[in-house]
């Protein structure tokens, strides 16, 4: 693990000392909600890693709002409410959505007077029909498979303070964009944007997604571990979600298990690992914070950008 010199590298032991509180101020109900969402999540990680992170985000958000007020005052413009946007990047299956949900839950609980929302960039993938027409169905997740212009316009609308903004929705069950279904973003105080591409420069635009994010996180791990998590998730889904007759992988779940796992390995090697190596990992050093995970998803290092 070689990170550039402009990061503080904290071990888990060092990072946990930044926790403001000795006991996580969560109700049994909130803890139950986190466990219900992912029962393998380590509560020790919530305490040691995510709580200090939420406090850091709180400080960053306060500094952001202060800067916005100063800017408006200088420009003699009215002070507008603009959401603080957090970007979460990293490989497929590294645990981005889990990290995003934990942060969303913790912030919703701790800042009960604030409106926290979460969105994934999957919704901005082109529908399968469009990917097929462009001959890039096997490039799902690669830069050219996203409507980056639409994603940038969406983020611009969020920052402009529009009251209700619709974003398209992706389904991992149908493996496609859901026609006529949308996520509604309703003037949040904090918007978490999670997706493999949140630190990328869109090939079709002159502006980064990260130009709209105020704090960016990259979830990192060795690729052989991520492969294991990808295959474990796939194996678990064969017994659960894929059993649904409407699921994209239903016929795979009914067939031979070894064949199914061979196919998943091929998807990992030829699509998701390739994407990680060529397009996702090169964006890691743009993140404000890097969460490094080891065996069992346990966080062993947190890197925080110095400048």
Ligand X SMILES: Nc1ncnc2c1ncn2[C@@H]1O[C@H](COP(=O)(O)OP(=O)(O)O)[C@@H](O)[C@H]1O
Ligand Y SMILES: CC(C)(COP(=O)(O)O)[C@@H](O)C(=O)NCCC(=O)O
CB of 259 to ligand Y, least distance (A): 16
**What are the structure tokens assigned to 187, written together?**
């003037």
Exposure string over 109-135, b if 16+ CB within 10 A, otherwise e: bbbeeeebbbbbbbbbbbeeeebeeee
Question: Which one of ligand X, ligand Y, none is in contact with 267 (Cβ closer than 5 to 8 A by kind)?
Answer: ligand Y
Question: Which one of ligand X, ligand Y, none is in contact with 41 (Cβ closer than 5 to 8 A by kind)?
Answer: ligand X
> Whose Cβ is closer to ligand X: residue 96's or residue 292's?
96
Interacting residues with ligand X (CB under 6 A) = 38, 40-41, 90, 92-98, 229, 233, 297
> Whose Cβ is closer to ligand X: residue 97's or residue 283's?
97
Q: Does 263 bind ligand Y (CB under 6 A)?
A: no
On whether the CB atoms of residues 301 and 225 are closer than 8 A, the answer is no
> Whose Cβ is closer to ligand Y: residue 61's or residue 226's?
226
> Whose Cβ is closer to ligand X: residue 103's or residue 303's?
103
Residue 124 region by backbone torsions, left for phi larger than 0, else alpha for psi between -120 and 50, else beta: alpha
Three-class SS state of 264 = helix
CB of 292 to ligand X, least distance (A): 13
> Whose Cβ is closer to ligand Y: residue 47's or residue 139's?
139
Q: Is the torsion defined by CA of 181, 218, 18, 37 positive or negative? A: positive
Helix (H) or strand (E) holding 303: strand 299-305
- Give the number of other Cβ atoms within 10 Å of residue 24's Cβ: 17
Q: Does 297 bind ligand Y (CB under 6 A)?
A: no
Chain position whose Cβ is nearest to ligand Y: 141
Q: Does 137 bind ligand Y (CB under 6 A)?
A: no
Question: Which one of ligand X, ligand Y, none is in contact with 33 (Cβ closer than 5 to 8 A by kind)?
Answer: none
- Asked whether residue 35 is marked as a ligand-binding residue, the answer is no
Question: Which one of ligand Y, ligand X, none is in contact with 122 (Cβ closer than 5 to 8 A by kind)?
Answer: ligand Y
CA distance 245 to 202: 36
- Asked whether residue 54 is marked as a ligand-binding residue, the answer is no
Strand order in the sheet with 215-220: 7-11, 299-305, 289-293, 215-220, 84-90, 190-194, 116-120
> Whose Cβ is closer to ligand X: residue 151's or residue 226's?
226
C-alpha torsion angle, residues 233, 239, 240, 244 (rounded to 10)? 120
Question: Which one of ligand Y, ligand X, none is in contact with 95 (Cβ closer than 5 to 8 A by kind)?
Answer: ligand X
CA distance 125 to 55: 33
Task: Give the residues across from 215 on adjacent strands.
Answer: 86
Site string for ligand Y, 114-133 (x = CB under 6 A): ------x-x-----------
DSSP class of residue 126 equals P
CB of 253 to ligand X, least distance (A): 16
- Asked whether residue 216 is marked as a ligand-binding residue, the answer is no
> Whose Cβ is closer to ligand X: residue 50's or residue 212's?
50
Question: Which one of ligand X, ligand Y, none is in contact with 229 (Cβ closer than 5 to 8 A by kind)?
Answer: ligand X
Residues 143-172 contacting ligand Y, CB under 6 A: none
In angstroms, the Cα distances linking 268 to 93, 124, 127, 227, 231 are: 10, 21, 21, 7, 8
On whether the CB atoms of residues 200 and 283 are closer than 8 A, the answer is yes
| Residue ranges that bind ligand Y, judged by CB under 6 A | 92, 96, 120, 122, 140-141, 195-196, 267, 271-272
Binding site for ATP: residue ranges?
Answer: 90-97
């Amino acid at each position: 693990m070689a990170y550039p010199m402009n990061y503080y590298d904290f071990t888990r032991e060092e990072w946990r000392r930044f926790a403001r509180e000795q006991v996580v101020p969560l109700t049994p109900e909130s803890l139950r909600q986190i466990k219900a969402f992912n029962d393998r999540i380590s509560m020790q990680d919530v305490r040691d890693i995510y709580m200090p992170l939420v406090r850091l985000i709180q400080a960053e958000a306060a500094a952001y709002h202060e800067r916005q007020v100063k800017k408006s005052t200088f420009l003699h413009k009215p002070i507008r409410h603009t959401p603080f946007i957090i970007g979460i990047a990293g490989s497929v299956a590294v645990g981005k959505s889990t990290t995003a949900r934990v942060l969303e839950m913790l912030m919703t609980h701790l800042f009960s007077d604030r409106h926290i929302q979460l969105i994934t960039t999957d919704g901005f993938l082109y529908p399968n029909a469009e990917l097929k027409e462009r001959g890039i169905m096997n490039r799902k997740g690669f830069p050219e498979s996203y409507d980056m212009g639409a994603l940038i316009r969406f983020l611009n609308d969020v920052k402009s303070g529009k009251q209700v903004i619709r974003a398209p929705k992706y389904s991992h069950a149908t493996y496609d964009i859901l026609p006529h279904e949308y996520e509604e973003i309703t003037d949040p105080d904090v918007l978490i944007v999670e997706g493999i591409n949140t630190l990328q420069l869109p090939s079709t635009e002159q502006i980064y997604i990260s130009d709209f994010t105020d704090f960016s996180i990259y979830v990192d791990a060795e690729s052989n571990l991520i492969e294991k998590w990808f295959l474990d998730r796939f194996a678990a889904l064969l017994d659960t979600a894929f059993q649904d007759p409407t699921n994209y992988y239903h016929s795979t779940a009914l067939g031979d298990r070894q064949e199914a796992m061979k196919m998943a390995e091929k998807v990992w090697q030829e699509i998701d690992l390739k994407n990680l190596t060529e397009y996702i990992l090169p964006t890691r050093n743009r993140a404000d914070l890097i969460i490094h995970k080891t065996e069992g998803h346990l966080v062993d290092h947190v890197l925080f950008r110095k400048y």
